[in-house]
């Protein structure tokens, strides 16, 4: 995947929100179960509602149970937060795939809503495993993380990374010192043939990430869109 993909991010935890976010022209939508409002039932309801584009679930932790559950619901892939090293990346990738490539357990949940089941080998080939690099520990091992078998996307969390580094997000995104973490992550992905992704959450951050070579960018977040557009519209109307 060399071309740029621009994604939508849903926090709101409902099928309606997921459906709306799937129809804004984005290449994919993420349902956020780590910091958003998607619980297990919410994911099961929202995945088919947003299925006009690939639906990825950010699970709340790197466990086979959570990853398998999201994939059983029909997600195209998962985004696994706070992966610290290559061993954790390998574990996430294994949880995404059935034997012999992994340890995923068979549970054809989509069949209950009338969808045909995907044979294990085909599911293994189709699934997308994104691991989040968002700590200095992970950056220190990013070459091995990006090269870990079954890792399709290295996805940067700039907020957690900037907190851990003790810098502002904007400063991290603007950092051009040689060997800075973002350039190191992109270089590791290029060397491994893995997609370099990142959460942006807005146009300026997206531009900064695109200019550095990231190609899989989450830019449109439902909660932020409502707040920004609603606030501007109300203020504009009052001022008119």
Active site residues: 35
Closest to Mg ion by CB, 56 vs 104, is: 56
- 17 close to 47: Cβ distance less than 8 angstroms: no
- 212 close to 180: Cβ distance less than 8 angstroms: no
Binding partner of residue 180 among Mg ion, ligand 3PY, none, CB cut-off 5 to 8 Å per kind: none
Pairing mode, strands 55-58 and 28-32: parallel
How many residues comprise the chain? 240
Structure tokens at 191: 């060397």
DSSP state for residue 90 in the 8-state scheme: H
Closest to ligand 3PY by CB, 118 vs 140, is: 140
Round to whole Å and give the CA distance between 26 and 33.
Answer: 20
Positions touching ligand 3PY (CB under 6 A) are 134, 157-160, 199
- 82 close to 133: Cβ distance less than 8 angstroms: no
Q: Cβ 138 to ligand 3PY, closest distance in Å?
A: 11
Closest to ligand 3PY by CB, 54 vs 158, is: 158
| CA distances to 50, 101, 121 from 124, in Å | 22, 8, 5
Q: Is 160 in the site for Mg ion (CB under 5 A)?
A: yes
Q: Cβ 130 to Mg ion, closest distance in Å?
A: 12
Minimal CB distance residue for ligand 3PY: 157
Please state whether the peptide bond connecting residue 100 to the residue before it is cis, i.e. omega within 30 degrees of 0: yes
Round to whole Å and give the CA distance between 209 and 5.
Answer: 12
Helical H segments across 96-168, by residue range: 120-126, 136-140, 142-147, 158-165
Binding partner of residue 199 among ligand 3PY, Mg ion, none, CB cut-off 5 to 8 Å per kind: ligand 3PY
Closest to Mg ion by CB, 15 vs 151, is: 151
Q: Is 157 in the site for Mg ion (CB under 5 A)?
A: yes
Minimal CB distance residue for Mg ion: 157
Contact mark string toward Mg ion, 85..124, x via CB under 5 A: ----------------------------------------
Contact mark string toward Mg ion, 122..141, x via CB under 5 A: ------------x-------
Closest to ligand 3PY by CB, 160 vs 222, is: 160
DSSP state for residue 6 in the 8-state scheme: E
Binding site for Mg ion (CB under 5 A): 134, 157, 160
């Amino acid at each position: 995947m060399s071309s740029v993909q621009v994604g939508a991010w849903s926090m709101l935890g409902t099928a309606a929100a997921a459906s709306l976010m799937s129809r804004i022209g984005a290449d994919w939508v993420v349902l956020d179960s780590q910091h958003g409002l998607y619980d297990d039932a919410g994911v099961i309801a929202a995945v088919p509602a947003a299925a006009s584009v690939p639906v990825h679930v950010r699970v709340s932790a790197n466990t086979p149970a959570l990853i398998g559950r999201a994939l059983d619901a029909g997600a195209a892939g998962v985004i696994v937060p706070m992966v610290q090293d290559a061993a954790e990346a390998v574990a996430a990738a294994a949880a995404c795939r059935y034997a012999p490539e992994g340890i995923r357990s068979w549970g054809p949940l989509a069949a209950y809503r009338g969808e045909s089941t995907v044979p294990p080998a085909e599911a293994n080939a189709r699934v997308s495993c994104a691991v989040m690099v968002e700590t200095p520990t992970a950056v220190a091992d990013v070459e091995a993380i990006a090269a870990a078998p079954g890792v399709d996307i290295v996805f940067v969390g700039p907020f957690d990374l900037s907190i851990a580094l003790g810098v502002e997000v904007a400063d991290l995104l603007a950092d051009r010192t040689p060997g800075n973490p973002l350039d190191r992550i992109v270089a590791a992905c290029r060397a491994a043939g893995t997609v370099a992704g990142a959460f942006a959450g807005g146009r300026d951050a997206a531009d900064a990430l695109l200019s550095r070579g990231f190609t899989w960018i989450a830019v449109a977040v439902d909660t932020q869109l409502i707040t920004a557009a609603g606030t501007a519209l109300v203020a504009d109307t009052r001022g008119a």
